[in-house]
Structure 1
């Protein structure tokens, strides 16, 4: 799974860190997750603890989107053994499927393909009857991949707004609150279009708290946010957006546009199941650390805030453990998940996990190895998953500090041969960090 793994595993501690990453990502793959959370007995499909008699429906349709949604669709076809009649999924690098059509879109900024794919998914949802069962794989990345602007908002407007929000330092929950109110398919829009068909959301969470309304901006879930909330977020982070976007939101706040559905009763035909989340990966990594002879401690699955600040906080805990055996006695592994952010001030290349790792490397810690990756294999807008660092990664820590100011973690860590590359992993349960303390 990890390219050039032998070189990256320079010490036993590096090897343990990489093994924890691999175990966590593997546990969150759709193949593994569906095998553990979905079963078919005769014609009865069981998802978590809910049952659906496939024979009672006229047709079974798969509609959704996200970085891992295509892999979920492919594995659904295998599990359901011919019950799937048709479907359409939008993903970044679609895998080959049988019955379900997969099309390519763009992430993290939507493109024309994202718009066209989302429009086709939306159109296929409309007009379905009570005799249809819709299985909806929704995974991280779906906010950009299912891009269907509402009202007079254009694709360019949506692209500009997305870029500004991502660089503002706003949390993903706040970003998605704005996205939901600029979209016809998000914020319950897909599920509302599919009524009265039965909709079963199969969710892979890449957000802190696993709120179905936040995952991929909640195409199948009720929305607790409002147009007023979206405007307040833009103002709080001083985000400048195109006039069409602000006018659309202001019209919604004035009651001139329909609000996203907040009452779960409006989407009474929908069941949403979160099948995988940060804990899926963390639990597997914890087991891998224990098997390697290290005492594991999960700090949190809900880490958020600026990546560099989170890095210093977690490094401080690792150093404390090394010095005083508190809160865990070495040899130990600290684990965390969640989603950190980066307020972009420079013009470099990087992402939250690269900045997290670089901030740790700048401190040149003793007897600590840190690995930080995005479980989908792409950190921010880069094509690398993250990086693995220790106290000797940087020959010149001052250059590392300068790179952080320019948001240019990628080039610095590449020069130090510290980046982790996996390619698309087929899953997405957010940031995943490992500290190994000797």
Structure 2
């Protein structure tokens, strides 16, 4: 297992390096003789009076560092908000911090600073917006009649109910002055360029960070429908219910004129990381295949799917024959029933441990690319065909830990937790399977 862990860690880190925030920004953005190029789009900086930088997310400080290196003293002012532990000191862009996934007063203060700059921008100004995973929680700007506590409660209820990120953001957009195109509205009539590192399956700009500079295709009715689906209407505050019934809080839609001078660019996503892991594993002699970067749904269903692919590869050589590296990416959901400690990647690992028990030559790492899984310091966990046997010797019963959502304390005594610390980026989760 020791050698397999080393290989799995190397592959994971190769994927993380591919989505490093500063590198991703510099791959997609070039500045030469006052001409700014972002992919195929050109901007003449002589046309702008001021250049402002705003944004939020776990990769915000790394992205902001690259922007400083590219623009230097051309930056008029900037503020970004990142998660505690991800901060770094920059010269021209202020880096503030807040809590994720449930927002706090640090994020609230940061959101006010971001909005202040956005509202300051005029028609002859350029606003560079940096968005990455975690931005939704890190930019809480409640609409009138809704408090920070209200938003905290709504977020906690949705997360514990097993709502997927798209559903959570559908509600949050309609309770915010920033989300769902609100930030673009605040910036108008300035020119807005948004660089996005996606942590969302499918990399839809309107979903990533709750789409602060994107038109919102969802409605107030959609948000209410989500609360109904998870039986939460009687658990949220009256202020939240009033806000979701007020037409004033409807988000700007496609074709709204506020988006005429706004462009969104995806500069890294889950597939970016998976492609690099595939390349790295092939250089090690493995046949490699990416099954999907769109893994979603309940973690139990995901574990069944992953296990079936592994077993098929072992028995028939499809979709790839051993020795092979089989890759999955995305973001599953966990319905929290117990009071244990864990996260979706650790829970997925534990479920897979049950399904590959006694299979020789199968080694798996499930991990979040941000380095933090759930409310733990672990990014995820390692499993192989011996995991349950080793657990049994220590008196650890997997079904008990699954019932309590306590996967962290299952893997900790086995020394199979994968701990990296904050990676400074976030493109959702990866599952790396080595089959010999």
Which residue of the other structure, out of 222, 237, 257, is the alignment partner of 2:215? 222
Aligned residue for 1:416? 414
Which moves more between the two structures, 225-234 or 121-130?
121-130
Q: Deviation at 1:44?
A: 1.1
**Contact 1:138/1:203 (CA < 8 Å) preserved in 2?**
yes
**Contact 1:108/1:381 (CA < 8 Å) preserved in 2?**
no
Q: Deviation at 1:308?
A: 2.7
Partner secondary structure for residue 293 of structure 1:
coil
Which moves more between the two structures, 270-279 or 234-243?
234-243
Aligned residue for 1:386? 380
Map 1:419-438 onto structure 2 (within 5 A): 419-438=417-436
CA distance in 1, matches of 2:5, 2:434: 8
**Alpha carbons of structure 1 residues 238 and 258: separation in structure 2 relative to 1, 3 Å:** closer
Q: Deviation at 1:215?
A: 0.3
Aligned residue for 1:167? 160
Aligned residue for 1:5? none
Aligned residue for 2:71? 80
CA distance in 2, matches of 1:381, 1:269: 39
Aligned residue for 2:15? 24
CA distance in 2, matches of 1:24, 1:119: 34
Which residue of the other structure, out of 279, 284, 296, is the alignment partner of 2:288? 296
**Contact 2:14/2:276 (CA < 8 Å) preserved in 1?**
yes
Aligned residue for 2:243? 248
Pairing 1:329–2:329 present: no
Pairing 1:375–2:369 present: yes
RMSD of the alignment, in Å?
1.3
- The answer for unaligned runs of 5 or more in structure 1 is 1-8
Which residue of the other structure, out of 307, 310, 318, is the alignment partner of 1:315? 307
**Contact 1:303/1:340 (CA < 8 Å) preserved in 2?**
yes
Aligned residue for 1:305? 297
Question: Alpha-carbon deviations, 1:317-374, whole Å to 9, x = none?
Answer: 1122112212210000111111111110110111111111111112323321110111
Q: Structure 2 length as normaliser, TM-score?
A: 0.95
CA distance in 2, matches of 1:396, 1:86: 54
CA distance in 1, matches of 2:326, 2:255: 38
Partner secondary structure for residue 74 of structure 1:
helix
CA distance in 2, matches of 1:431, 1:310: 12
Map 1:13-412 onto structure 2 (within 5 A): 13-92=4-83, 93-239=86-232, 240-250=235-245, 252=246, 255=247, 257-266=248-257, 267-363=259-355, 364=357, 365-394=359-388, 395-396=390-391, 399-412=397-410
CA distance in 1, matches of 2:33, 2:419: 42
Which moves more between the two structures, 296-305 or 257-266?
257-266
Which moves more between the two structures, 204-213 or 264-273?
264-273
Q: Deviation at 1:400?
A: 1.4
Which moves more between the two structures, 85-94 or 390-399?
390-399
**Contact 2:52/2:117 (CA < 8 Å) preserved in 1?**
no
CA distance in 2, matches of 1:157, 1:415: 38
**Contact 1:379/1:386 (CA < 8 Å) preserved in 2?**
yes
**Contact 1:376/1:424 (CA < 8 Å) preserved in 2?**
yes
**Contact 2:342/2:376 (CA < 8 Å) preserved in 1?**
yes
Q: Deviation at 1:264?
A: 3.5
**Alpha carbons of structure 1 residues 80 and 219: separation in structure 2 relative to 1, 3 Å:** same
CA distance in 1, matches of 2:35, 2:374: 40
CA distance in 2, matches of 1:216, 1:371: 26
CA distance in 2, matches of 1:150, 1:123: 15
Structure 1 stretches of at least 4 aligned residues deviating more than 6 Å after TM superposition = none
- Number of residue-to-residue matches in the alignment: 425
**Contact 2:25/2:195 (CA < 8 Å) preserved in 1?**
no
CA distance in 2, matches of 1:258, 1:375: 34
**Contact 1:191/1:221 (CA < 8 Å) preserved in 2?**
yes
CA distance in 1, matches of 2:325, 2:313: 10
CA distance in 2, matches of 1:309, 1:224: 28
**Contact 1:54/1:83 (CA < 8 Å) preserved in 2?**
no
CA distance in 2, matches of 1:321, 1:126: 55
Which moves more between the two structures, 356-365 or 412-421?
356-365
CA distance in 2, matches of 1:349, 1:42: 53
Question: Alpha-carbon deviations, 1:186-224, whole Å to 9, x = none?
Answer: 111111001111110110100011111100101111100
CA distance in 2, matches of 1:20, 1:307: 23
- The answer for unaligned runs of 5 or more in structure 2 is none
